[in-house]
């Protein structure tokens, strides 16, 4: 009876296996025409959950094929167990393959080579496992065939699993730990911003879901043209405008938000990586820019320099003792500063200022410290050729800056005798090619700065050819054939909020640049807009637009910056409710520190609330008369940041006796509202108060048209202004 039941189940299982293989063949032939109902899509998405089951069964059955037992009864039982495992493994593999074929029809999975290999290796593995089972039920002599088939099936299992892991987790996910670690360090002067900085971040954190084989949201990120194309939700980024770019929006969403990228549970970008993507987009998102061509103080260049820095070498060991502290203090004065390179370190650095107070004696006075001084910065000081002989006595000198001094180059041979000299700057001096040849004997020299000298481009090229181990820093020389765009003017003010009035300070690092501005919201031009002089008196809230202009250059992009008047500053601010830990900024201080948050939600200058109100108390030691309270908010619809649904201002002489001064219901956020930082103004009759309470209520449920519909929205605040 038991044998009959077992035989019946084997017949049923064998029939099901045959039917499943025929059904899979049908799916393979007509896959391009399949339209699956939602419930089958759910079944397809269970493919990763079930695939481990047939793997275990088939591997155990394959191992049993190689085991021979002496007792006939035991051998018979083992063969029956192997057959049962093979049948169960083949049937579960068939279901897994069917689920995988269903899953491959979804958006985001395309017919890439990797997906095709995974699909066909999985199907072939199933067919081999089915053949092994049917072979075991036949009368054909089969031991060698079974063993060979078992080896091939297990091998295909490994290959299929490896390809599947690559599609799900990115290339070489399985073999990653045994692959060579990292890529060779790229020299700074050869590094490309995208290829060597941005692309590795995308490969590690994004491409496991956005590749040719698995393009979630119809977005692949392997090639520049794919990045430019974007996906189902639109363009991935807008060059020059990271604050409007979908990529940055998704990165800055709360971790538990549905649209946050990378998804929760996957490796997240570090703050440095997020900042790198921000500045790459802000710089224009070019795919061919060299790091070395970026301006020296450009944020992207500085960040790249830190990321491209090779592994830190062992710190240099200085074999000299520290100088007498009293002597160092004695030699410090108003025009000469001497300080150690680190706390309690022996090596010293010298900086000289005020050329009217400087003479040769200022160098000679430092000779008692000649065994400790490793850096000497004498730029723009009246240093002469004869002073170089004195400088050559500072035997531990590593860095020497003689830029824009009176050195003519006649005694450069004295510097060549310095045994440790690594960096020498002679920019802005009339040194010649012949004079510089004496520096060849400076065996430790690594950097030679020679911009703005009398040397021609051809001279500089010849010098670099003869100084093969030295980086000759030539600077940029515009021969007039290329019009360059000026960078924006720079704001000299540190705070954006003032009480009575403020002197606006604008500057530009390039000499001879003219700054033109407007205060009425219009766009400044290089011909008619007023010219900014030394400063501009601001007596009320003002938005400044300014451009930099210079003959032979393209005018800069306009700078727009807003300044706000706040007659009173609270003596203290207390947060009655706490912000989300991801957007805590500087705590209560954020609301009265004089700094605005701008349009970047992730810059650490915003307080972010979701699920509970922002409630803050402003306290004054002396009563003040207020008639308006303004609060700065951020609106970024794609990032779930909406205007508050309600704003309340309460005031009184103490926290226990306050009355409602104003309640405002701001306009609700709409689908196409642009990203903006703005103020919500609450005005009311003059009221004398010692404390003010502000309440902002975030949107409780996002509207139906929003991707996060039904979920909590956010409210962001940065500064409270009074009167």
Model pLDDT, residue 623: 92
* CA distance linking residue 661 with residue 665, whole number of Å: 14
> Mind listing the pLDDT tens digit for each residue in 241-264?
888 888 888 887 776 677 778 876
Which residue in this structure is represented by tokens 């519909």?
A: 709
Helices (H), 570-692: none
Model pLDDT, residue 708: 83
CB atoms within 10 A of CB 575: 17
Model pLDDT, residue 367: 94
Helices (H), 30-51: 38-45, 47-50
Inter-residue contact 445 to 426 (CB < 8 Å): no
Nearest in space to 466 (alpha carbons), one of 439, 498, 502? 439
Helices (H), 403-545: 433-436, 457-466
Model pLDDT, residue 707: 81
Inter-residue contact 331 to 369 (CB < 8 Å): yes
Judge whether residue 311 has pLDDT over 70: no
> Mind listing the pLDDT tens digit for each residue in 263-309?
766 777 887 888 888 888 888 888 888 888 877 667 788 788 777 76
Nearest in space to 122 (alpha carbons), one of 167, 64, 171? 167
- Across 640-664, average pLDDT: 92
Model pLDDT, residue 432: 92
Judge whether residue 561 has pLDDT over 80: yes
Which residue in this structure is represented by tokens 């004079």?
A: 435
Which range among 184-188, 403-407, 675-679 shows the weakest confidence by mean pLDDT? 184-188
CB atoms within 10 A of CB 643: 24
Inter-residue contact 577 to 554 (CB < 8 Å): no
Model pLDDT, residue 167: 54
């Amino acid at each position: 009876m038991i044998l009959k039941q077992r035989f019946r189940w084997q017949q049923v299982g064998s029939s099901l296996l045959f039917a499943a293989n025929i059904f899979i063949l049908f799916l393979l032939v007509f896959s391009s025409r399949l339209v699956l109902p939602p419930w089958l899509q759910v079944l397809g998405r269970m493919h990763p959950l079930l695939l481990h089951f047939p793997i275990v069964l088939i591997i155990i059955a394959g191992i049993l094929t190689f085991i021979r037992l002496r007792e006939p009864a035991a051998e018979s039982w083992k063969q029956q167990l192997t057959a049962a495992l093979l049948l169960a493994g083949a049937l579960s593999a068939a279901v897994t393959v069917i689920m995988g074929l269903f899953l491959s029809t979804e958006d985001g999975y395309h017919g890439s080579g990797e997906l095709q290999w995974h699909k066909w290796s999985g199907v072939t593995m199933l067919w081999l496992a089915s053949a092994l089972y049917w072979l075991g039920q036949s009368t054909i002599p089969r031991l060698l065939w079974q063993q060979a088939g078992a080896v091939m099936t297990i091998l295909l299992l490994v290959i299929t699993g490896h390809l599947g892991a690559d599609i799900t987790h990115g290339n070489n996910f399985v073999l990653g730990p045994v692959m060579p670690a990292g890529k060779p360090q790229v020299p700074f002067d050869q590094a490309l911003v995208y290829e060597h900085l941005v692309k590795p971040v995308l490969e590690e954190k994004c491409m496991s879901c956005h590749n040719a084989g698995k393009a979630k949201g119809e977005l692949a990120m392997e090639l520049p043209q794919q990045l430019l194309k974007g996906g189902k939700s639109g363009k991935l980024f807008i060059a020059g405008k990271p604050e409007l770019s979908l990529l940055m929006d998704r990165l800055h969403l709360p971790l538990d938000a549905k649209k946050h990228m990378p998804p929760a549970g996957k490796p997240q970008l570090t703050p440095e990586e997020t900042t790198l993507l921000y500045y790459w987009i802000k710089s224009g998102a070019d795919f061919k820019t060299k790091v070395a061509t970026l301006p020296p103080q450009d944020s992207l260049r500085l960040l790249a320099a830190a990321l491209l820095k090779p592994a830190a070498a062992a710190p240099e060991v200085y074999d000299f003792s520290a100088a007498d502290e009293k002597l160092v203090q004695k030699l410090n004065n108003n025009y000469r500063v001497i300080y150690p390179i680190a706390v309690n370190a022996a090596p010293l650095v010298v900086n000289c200022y005020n050329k009217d107070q400087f003479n040769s004696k200022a160098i000679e006075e430092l000779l008692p410290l000649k065994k400790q001084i490793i850096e000497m910065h004498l730029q723009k000081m009246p240093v002469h050729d004869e002073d170089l002989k004195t400088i050559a006595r500072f035997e531990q000198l590593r860095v020497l800056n003689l830029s824009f001094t009176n050195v003519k180059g006649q005694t450069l041979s004295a510097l060549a005798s310095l045994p440790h000299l690594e960096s020498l700057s002679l920019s802005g001096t009339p040194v010649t090619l012949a004079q510089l040849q004496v520096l060849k004997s400076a065996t430790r020299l690594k950097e030679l700065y020679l911009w703005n000298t009398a040397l021609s481009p051809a001279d500089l090229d010849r010098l670099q050819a003869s100084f093969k181990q030295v980086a000759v820093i030539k600077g940029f020389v515009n021969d007039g054939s290329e019009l360059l765009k000026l960078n924006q003017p720079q704001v000299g003010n540190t705070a954006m909020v003032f009480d009575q009035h403020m002197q606006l300070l604008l500057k530009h690092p390039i000499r001879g640049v003219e700054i033109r501005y407007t205060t009425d919201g219009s766009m400044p031009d290089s011909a008619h807009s007023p010219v900014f002089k030394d400063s501009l008196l601001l007596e009320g809230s003002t938005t400044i637009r300014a451009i930099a202009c210079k003959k032979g250059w393209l005018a800069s992009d306009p700078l727009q910056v807003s300044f706000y008047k706040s007659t009173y500053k609270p003596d203290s601010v207390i947060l009655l409710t706490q912000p989300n830990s991801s957007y805590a900024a500087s705590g209560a201080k954020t609301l009265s520190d004089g700094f605005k948050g701008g349009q970047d939600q992730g810059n650490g200058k915003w307080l972010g609330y979701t699920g509970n109100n922002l409630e803050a108390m402003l306290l004054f030691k002396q009563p003040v008369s207020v008639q308006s309270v303004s609060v700065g908010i951020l609106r970024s619809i794609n990032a779930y940041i909406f205007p508050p649904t309600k704003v309340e201002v309460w005031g009184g002489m103490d926290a226990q006796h306050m009355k409602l001064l104003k309640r405002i219901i701001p306009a609700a956020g709409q689908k196409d509202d642009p990203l903006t930082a703005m103020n919500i103004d609450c005005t009311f009759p003059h009221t004398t108060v010692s404390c003010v309470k502000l309440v902002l209520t975030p949107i409780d449920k996002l509207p139906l048209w929003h991707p996060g519909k039904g979920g909590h929205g956010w409210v962001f605040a940065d500064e409270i202004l009074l009167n």
